Structure 1
Amino acid sequence: IATMLESRLQTKPRSSPNGRETSLWSSGFGMKLEAVTPFLGKYRPFVGRCCQTCTPKSWESLFHRSIRDLGFCNVILVKEENTRFRGWLVRRLCYFLWSLEQHIPPCQDAPQKIMESTGVQNFLSGRVPGGAGEGQVPDHVKKEVQRIVGHIQAPPCPFLVRLFSWALLRFLNCVFLNVQLHKGQMKMVHKAAQQGSPLVLLSTHKTLLDGILLPFVLLSQGLGVLRVAWDSRVCSPALRALLRKLGGLFLPSEANLSLDSSEGLLARAVVQAVIEQLLVSGQPLLIFLEEPPGALGPRLSALGQAWLGFVVRAVQVGIIPDALLVPVAVTYDVVPDAPCEIYHASAPLGLWTGALAVLRSLCSHLGCSRQICSRVHLAQPFSLQEYTISARSCWGSRQTLEQLLQPIVLGQCTAVPDTEKEQEWTPITGPLLALKEEDQLLVRRLSHHVLSASVASSAVMSTAIMATLLLFKHQKGVFLSQLLGEFSWLTEEILLRGFDVGFSGQLRSLLQHTLSLLRAHVALLRIRQGDLLVVPRPGPGLAHLARLSAELLPVFLSEAVGACAVRGLLVGRVPPQGPWELQGIELLSQNELYRQILLLMHLLPQELLLLQPCQSSYCYCQEVLDRLIQCGLLVAEETPGSRAACDTGRKLLWKPSGDFTDSDSDDFEEPLEGGGREAVGSCAAQTSFFSSAACSAHCSRLSHRLLPFFLCSPQGLGLLSSAESGYTKQLFQFLQATAQKEGIFECVDPKLAISAIWTFRDLGVLQQIPSPAGPRLHLSSTFASRDNQEKLEQFIRQFICS
């Protein structure tokens, strides 16, 4: 892997406006720091394999065998060698010549074919309810079809595409240090494209820049003009017109009308015809399955599911035999400022607003050394037709959260039902309602499946690792020499868990780059000769570190769930004095631990766990235990006469005091007779960071998602009636006040408040009743009594690790 900073550090002079910072770094890194051995390049796991359960044929055939040997490329590093020409002038015009040499296939958009499509003809002939009538094709209906087509798309203009690519290349080189792309992943996508099926890229959504960056990357790699499904609510009419010329697609507002509306029926038929023509012509399509980070509401995008529903429908009716789905993710060590600020604005993004934001971003980055690194992830493609056939066999019975947990919370029963949780927070749009109920379920589960694959293939950036170390282990400060070793260690732990990191190079340069990006949130103090003290700045800046550290949550999620489950079992046995980690050994039943993990899984939002629909809860419970055993926190107990270690009823021990050397320690109590059990031991302060700080910290972050549920008991449950927006606002204000009082700013997140309210609603604590002013939430009669409220409080509080 190429060194991240090598090209820039060799070309940029050291005398710059930040000369003071350079001298500070030179004095801060002494001989002791130079002795740290670079850790990268030893092992880098491959991420992004498709599901072997749902798509076994794609798992085998669409994988590039030599993917690990191909390395990475910086897609914005364009030199003279990237053109067909050589010379002094070419070196200064290489960006312009490169944009001219990009292959842009001719546009095959045919308005006449859209008019002749089956869906539009059925509407015009009156063969569907609400159509124009048999034999009647009025001119105003044809004009309406042409208007809808013009709203959805426009033929991409090659001149504008080349001009925009040249301008974007210059902008990216000013703002970004590099944009990395794995050559092996690109090889897989090229191999899939050669099979003749259209490519549909399904992506996460970190910022609005994703919709511009991804088409640029794929155009530079020879995949042609990528058609991007945009959200029309965030773009002004002028910007929508420009994006349509660059390959953008916009869903007309009429498509969300009721099913019995003639305008909605015609709009959905036209959109379906446009998607069918795009897929038949082989143009790649990009759909965002995740809402942007600034959007309040569910994580899964309703608009993205609507676009995906059109693709599924085209395959089902036989317009195309198959489509290849590619999970995509874009990660940044710091999300670019301009797109983030633009999204939070109340008005839609316009041309002048975007241009001014770009100029501000250029000026701010040209005046300082902050430059962002990005990584584009393309997971293994898989067949939509194969998934449609295989996934239906994995569908089982499901129950609501109220049916699963409410009897257990109230003490009416103790057994957890052997069924999965049904939770749908994403509203169903008009295009999705037009499908059959079975097809709607297929689209929703496919969306969850792909989003889970995209998150799993996302690399962890250096700022996330640094924020985790500073926020959860060293809030009072840490010497840079110690931070180097812990950064290296945590990176290796991430790699060993099958996740990739989005950086490479020497450790010294990496930390210099990372701390420069976090300079607004950390302070560097020269305490002793040859070393620096790194201290997180107190106050709301900790919330920024918390958002960055959340990128590590999928890596340690299994350990965090296991730690919370163990906490739930110990809560009734351990005295309340002191932290639960420092108590003595307690023998726990393995079946009880399974049950506790299931309860926590049902209580946590599905959008946090991101379980694949083909994975059952009991399989995830076993995965949690296996992960605890793999990392050394649980060990198999070897006793005379016991069953084989591979037996599911084996006995397990939680190793105390961080001693991972031998299992027959004198500190363990004699195991009890009977079935499989676990012993939970004390964790001393000298325990490794993984077993104490990392696991407990991410466990605490999980608990903070449950914390509003508990905090809402004395505050929100006292209200007899409130609108959902007002209820959420009150809870968010309460989180802000608590953060100012206790210094826990990582909990201050409006999405956290919304998630808490919706979970209470699903659990049956709150009842939603429609009203003219909007949905109102009433306290249910079941939880009107203080006794049941205390039971709910106790049930949730058991999972919070103090």
Structure 2
Amino acid sequence: MDTILEARLHTQQKSSQNGRETSLWSSGFGMKLEAVTPFLGKYRPFVGRCCQTCTPKSWESLFHRSIMDLGFCNAILVKEENTRFRGWLVRRLCYFLWSLEQHIPPCQDAPQKIMESTGVQNVISGRAPGGAGEGQVPNLVKKEVQRILGHIQAPPCPFLLRLFSWALLRFLNCLFLNVQLHKGQMKMVHKAAQAGSPLVFLSTHKSLLDGILLPFVLLSQGLGVLRVAWDPRACSPILRALLRKLGGLFLPPEANLPLDSSEGVLARAVIHAAMEQLLVSRQPLLIFLEELPGAQGPRLSALGQAWLGLVVEAVKVGIVPDALLVPVAITYDLVPDAPRYAHHASAPLGLWTGALAVLRSLRGWGCSHRVCVRVQLAQPFSLQEYTINARSCWGSRQTLEQLLQPIVLGQCTAVPDTEKEQEWTPVTQPLLALKEEDQCLIRRLSCHVLNASVASSAVMSTAIMATLLLFKHPKGVFLSQLLGEFSWLTEETLLRGFDVGFSGQLRCLLQHTLSLLRAHVALLRVRQGDLLVVPRPGPGLMDLARLSTELLPAFLSEAVGACAVRGLLAGRVPPEGPWELQGIELLSQNELYRQILLLLHLLPQDLLLLPPCQSSYCYCQEVLDRLIQCGLLVAEETPGSQLACDTGRQRLSAKLLWKPSGDFTDSDSDDFEEAEGRYFRLSQQSRCPDFFLFLCRLLSPLLKAFAQAAAFLHQGQLPDSESGYVEQLFQFLQDTAQEEGFFECADPNLAISAIWTFRDLGVLQQTQSPAGPMLHLSPTFASRDNQEKLEQFIRQFICG
């Protein structure tokens, strides 16, 4: 408490000295500039530019710089001005009149065209491998095709769409304060749609409401009726029938049958034909690239990859010349259905269950609990252009066991110059039906688009507040100090090219955020005019940790670099050593590169989401640049070495002197060995230790869960099934959290990530048995010595 009071007095003294002037880098490093107030909209970074490496033409042609002049709109705010009529009666019926005036283009699905398509006819006639053959009765085959097609889609009903839009508009206004949409991004998408290519929206998946909210928002903006690829596991049969009338698409169960099954071949042919007709008619399509919210498993959706594979195959065979892919990101202050799906994610949502959930949401949230939603539309890019340019970026890859296991065991020190191959998403039968090269293209395209969606996601106020309370002030902070910390972290987020999903006065914004988090935060009045904000100890910290992951992409590079620096200093300086002692050590660039690469290989690909066109070494340089820009690392010349800026006495070797002018097979920098003379120190500025510890703590839940999983290897009961061992490890994480207080590590998703990473690393091996796949310890890590080496390797990156 004394420390907190001293911090409060220090804050009050500083505020009285500086007055209204604040520091852009209030963490204590960097230049002091004029204050930027992001809450009033004076500075908004543009997010969502497509990849200049893979899609340079789209990067240049499908972006318009004037879009930043346009502001935001509330997609669910409908007034009298939004209708063609005026008057007191219109003001009371504006929702109904607005739904009647929505333009719903005719979406006549053509079953006859699907029946006459080449793929379906080849299967019926037996010309395709695994086809039905001539012996089948044509009427029976036709009925089977109609049955499969009825399971996939149905013609949208305009009356039902208008009625549902009216009811949904009233529901959303009761549940949300606003649904923000950037008008400039919408204008960019409209202009791309005028090119004539079908639009395919590829979105993140934060809530079960996403499949209803996103089509409603885009319909209200004049994009027509979206076809939404739903997960059949999430809906009951009655709800699936209703969603098909509203534009939903469902993958039939026959599509997942083996490749040599005639029913599976026919179902996949019908799906291909339906997708071809959808793209030819230029109906917009929405695909979720993330798994269902609350699902335990890989982040990339296997179903989303299957639907994306259908689009890629249609463009490849020339059904449509091109398709425009639009990454979409949706973020909430708080996910409305979070308490429900966290425990019942495996149960399909029924029609009456959904209605009861709506009533509970309206009753439980109330006006004071309404949240904000932000929908971000990234820059569209050409699928045809990506398929041409992306193949040139593919290089050799190795498994995690080949890359990391010799280093963990101390058998090798050099990190192989190759990329990590880590695919956790299972491959479905529709994707297996494609060529192996196309499967690889779809997997990397999915990762690329999901990276773009996450990079364009707006950071909400609850994520910033949860990060501050969990990783910067876990023991509490005064509200007067929290105001400055919140403003500082918001500006840091904006300076890193990430947008925020809030605006308004700072004090009102904090009051709204704390009211949303009041189940996890305690407010204590210790002095007149000020409050002490303390995160509640216990399992609620896990919810704060989940919220803080929304902010992690903005600081991921610096967090990786800080943990790598901690790992490099672990063998030289004790972790509890003073900052001045750590700053004495010289860190060479090669050592930093090696340590960053080791951590990159250890971290799951689902967390990093590195674009496939970017190599790990390029990312290492980006991490190092970020650490220098934020002031944590300072360049230092070694004693007695030639200064880096002194190029007058550098001598060229004979090979370089006599190299032909047109020979670019070797770089001139190879003989200079400039990297050998580059050294860095930790900055000694007063606020650097706190910021360094803050960055390290951002990855601490994952790394601590991995370290505890390594310590659990000698206690776990193996062999066991994967689900059984996940339960064992999760129970161990919970027990450890009760003893040590690190509840942010007691997450089942972290337990799954640790087990899958250890399986890729060769610590755990999976074998087939009559009872199914079983996990057991590999002979290499059966010894306690190697298990301790693994735990020590992980713990070197943990600080604080």
Q: TM-score, normalised by structure 2?
A: 0.90
**What's the CA shift for 1:135?**
8.1
- Cα distance in 1, alignment partners of residues 675 and 302 from structure 2: 53
Separation in 2, partners of 1:181, 1:676: 46
1:343 & 1:324 partners in 2: Cα distance? 37
In structure 1, what is the equivalent of residue 57 of structure 2?
57
What's the counterpart of residue 667 of structure 1? none
Q: Secondary structure at the match of 1:679?
A: strand
Q: How does 1:33-52 map to 2 (within 5 A)?
A: 38-40=37-39, 41-52=41-52
For residues 46-79 of structure 1, give each alpha carbon's deviation from its aligned partner in whole angstroms, at most 9, with x where no partner exists.
Answer: 0000000000000011012211100100001100
Distance in 2 separating the partners of 1:59 and 1:735: 45
Deviations 1:420-466 (A, max 9, x none): 01111111000000000000000000000000000000010000111
Cα displacement (A) at 1:784: 2.1
**What is the CA distance between 1:283 and its match in structure 2?**
0.3
Say which SS state the counterpart of residue 502 (structure 1) adopts.
coil
What SS does structure 1 have at the residue aligned with 2:63? Answer: coil
Which amino acid counterpart does residue 725 of structure 1 have in structure 2? Answer: S
Aligned-partner Cα distance in 2 for 1:504–1:721: 53
Distance 1:301 1:212 in 2: 18
- Is the CA contact (8 Å cut-off) linking 1:255 and 1:431 kept in structure 2? yes
Shift of 1:339: 8.3
Partner of 1:728: 726
Q: Compute the RMSD of aligned alpha carbons.
A: 2.3
Equivalent in the alignment of 2:433 = 434
Does residue 68 (structure 1) correspond to residue 60 (structure 2)? The answer is no
Structure 1 residues 682 and 362: alpha-carbon distance in aligned structure 2, compared to 1, 3 A threshold: same
1: distance between equivalents of 2:88 and 2:549?
A: 47
Q: Deviations over 1:538-575 (max 9, x none)?
A: 21111111111111111111111111111111111123
Structure 1 residue 275: Cα displacement: 0.6
Letter in 2 for 1:735: L
Deviation at 1:479, TM superposition (A): 1.6
In the other structure, the counterpart of 2:396 is 397
Task: Determine the C-alpha separation between the residues in 1 that align with 2:187 and 2:261.
Answer: 46
Residue in 2 that maps onto 1:643: 644
Moved more, 38-47 or 744-753: 38-47
* Alignment of 1:107 onto 2:117: no
SS across alignment from 2:484 = helix
User: What's the CA shift for 1:642?
Assistant: 1.0
Q: In 2, distance between residues paired with 1:634 and 1:313? A: 48
Tell me, in whole angstroms, the C-alpha distance in 1 between the residues paired with 2:271 and 2:457.
Answer: 31
2:351 maps to 1:351: yes
On the 8 A contact 1:209/1:339 being kept in 2, the answer is no
**Structure 1 counterpart SS, 2:459:** coil
Could you tell me which residue of structure 2 aligns to residue 743 of structure 1? 741
Once the 2 structures are TM-superposed, how far is the Cα of residue 688 of structure 1 from its aligned partner?
7.2
Cα distance between partner residues in 2 of 1:339 and 1:478? 27
Instruction: Tell me what 1:523 maps to.
Output: 522
Partner of 2:574: 575
Point out where structure 1 has 5 or more consecutive residues left out of the alignment.
1-30, 650-671
The normalised TM-score by structure 1 is: 0.89
Q: Secondary structure at the match of 2:529?
A: coil
User: Kindly tell me: are residues 222 and 310 of structure 1, through their superposed partners in 2, closer, same or farther at Cα, counting changes over 3 Å?
Assistant: same
Cα distance in 2, alignment partners of residues 544 and 645 from structure 1 = 53
Q: Deviations over 1:192-224 (max 9, x none)?
A: 110000000001100110000000000000000
- For the residues of structure 2 that align with 1:581 and 1:101, how far apart are their CA atoms? 68
Q: Deviations over 1:387-432 (max 9, x none)?
A: 0000000000001111111122222221111110111111100000
How do 1:683-698 residues align onto structure 2 when only pairs under 5 Å count?
Answer: 686-687=687-688, 689=690, 691-698=691-698
Q: Is residue 2:315 matched to residue 1:278? A: no
Shift of 1:709: 3.8
Within 2, Cα distance between the matches of 1:524 and 1:43?
A: 32
Q: 1:577, 1:180 → 2: CA distance? A: 46
Partner SS, residue 712 of structure 2: helix
Amino acid at match of 1:676: R
Tell me, yes or no, if the aligned pair for 1:467 and 1:548 is still in contact at 8 Å: yes
Question: Distance between the aligned counterparts of 1:81 and 1:688, measured in 2?
Answer: 54
* Contact 1:583/1:682 (<8 A) preserved: no
Aligned-pair CA distance for 1:632: 1.0
Q: Which residue of 2 aligns with 1:561?
A: 560
C-alpha displacement of 1:36: 9.3
Contact 2:38 2:44 in 1 (8 A): no
Contact 2:711–2:787 under 8 Å retained in 1: no
Instruction: Measure, in 2, the Cα distance between the counterparts of 1:246 and 1:708.
Output: 47
For 1:737 and 1:296, how far apart are their aligned partners in 2?
Answer: 20
Deviation of 1:706 after TM superposition, in Å, equals: 3.0
> Paired residue for 1:660?
none
Structure 2: distance between partners of 1:673 and 1:213 = 51
Counterparts of residues 415-454 of structure 1 (less than 5 Å): 415-454=414-453
Match of residue 475 from structure 2: 476
The Cα of 1:159 is off from its aligned counterpart by: 0.4
- State the match for 1:679 in structure 2: 681
Report the secondary structure of 2:287's partner residue: strand
8 Å CA contact 2:636–2:679 kept in 1: the answer is no
Note closer, same or farther for the CA distance 1:178–1:645 as it changes in structure 2 (3 Å cut). farther
Could you say what secondary structure the match of 2:610 adopts? coil
Distance of 1:645 and 1:201 partners within structure 2: 52
Match of 2:123 in 1: 123
Cα 1:352–1:156 change in 2 (3 A) is same
Q: What are structure 2's unaligned runs of at least 5 residues?
A: 1-14, 23-36, 651-673
Aligned residues: 744
The amino acid that maps onto 1:745 is F
Kindly report which structure 2 residues correspond to 1:273-422, keeping only aligned pairs within 5 A, or say none: 273-337=273-337, 340-341=340-341, 344-366=344-366, 368-422=367-421
Contact 1:707 1:800 in 2 (8 A): no
Tell me, yes or no, if the aligned pair for 2:593 and 2:620 is still in contact at 8 Å: yes
In 2, Cα distance between equivalents of 1:307 and 1:485 = 46
Give the secondary structure class of the aligned counterpart of 2:530: coil
2:784 corresponds in structure 1 to 786
Aligned partners of 1:575, 1:341: CA distance in 2, in Å?
Answer: 43
Aligned-residue offset at 1:292: 2.2
Q: Is the 8 A contact 1:227 1:249 kept in 2?
A: yes
Q: In 2, are the aligned partners of 1:108 and 1:281 still within 8 Å (CA)? A: no
Q: Tell whether the 8 Å contact from 2:59 to 2:381 is kept in structure 1 after alignment.
A: yes
**Counterpart in 1 of 2:661?**
none
CA distance in structure 2 between the aligned counterparts of 1:131 and 1:138, rounded to whole angstroms: 13
Q: Shift in Å at residue 527 of structure 1?
A: 2.1
State the secondary structure of the residue aligned to 1:380.
Answer: coil
Distance 1:334 1:673, change over 3 A: closer
Residue 496 of structure 1 and its aligned partner are, at CA, apart by: 0.4
Per the alignment, in what secondary structure is the counterpart of residue 329 of structure 2? strand
**Which has the larger displacement, 593-602 or 778-787?**
778-787
Q: What corresponds to 2:265 in structure 1?
A: 265
| Worse-superposed segment, 775-784 or 484-493 | 775-784
